[in-house]
Amino acid sequence: MVNDNDLKPCPLCNGKARYQVGGELYTIGCIGCLIETDTYDDPELLAVDWNSRPEVDDLKRLLSECKHRFKSYQMDVDMSPPDHHRDFMRRIEAALDS
């Protein structure tokens, strides 16, 4: 069986996730913000669903593409980017590193 250490942190607050058992049904809840999943009868499937973060992966892919296009644009116009563009790039890079 899966245990709490196999669970990713909460997608909302990054808090610790915990299995909760009620009879033959399982949920995962965050001890930080108290969100909770629907009930599952299969703890393994519950863990897979909890640990799946496709929206985060999609956002990181989009940010990576933005970064690439932004750098390509800078090379095309052959100029130093204005301050607000540099700030935007720093925010993209920070998001990709997290």
Shared domain check, 68 and 28:
no
One domain, residues 62 and 73: yes
pLDDT at 65: 84
Co-location of 20 and 47 in the same domain: yes
Where are any strands of DSSP class E within 1-98?
A: 17-22, 25-30
Q: For the residues 51-77, what does the mean pLDDT come to?
A: 77
- Hunting for tokens 């990709």 — which residue is that? 96
42 and 69 fall within a common domain: no
Crossing angle for the helix pair 54-77 and 83-97, to the nearest 10 degrees? 150
Expressed as residue numbers, the domain containing 42 is 4-52
Asked if 63 and 48 sit in the same domain, the reply is no
Are residues 48 and 63 both part of a single domain?
Answer: no
Q: Which of 36, 52, 68 is the last residue of a domain?
A: 52
> Model-level pTM?
0.56
- Measured over the CA atoms of residue 92, residue 60, residue 53 and residue 16, the dihedral's sign is negative
Is pLDDT at 14 greater than 60 in this prediction? yes
Please indicate, yes or no, whether residues 24 and 47 belong to a single structural domain of this protein: yes
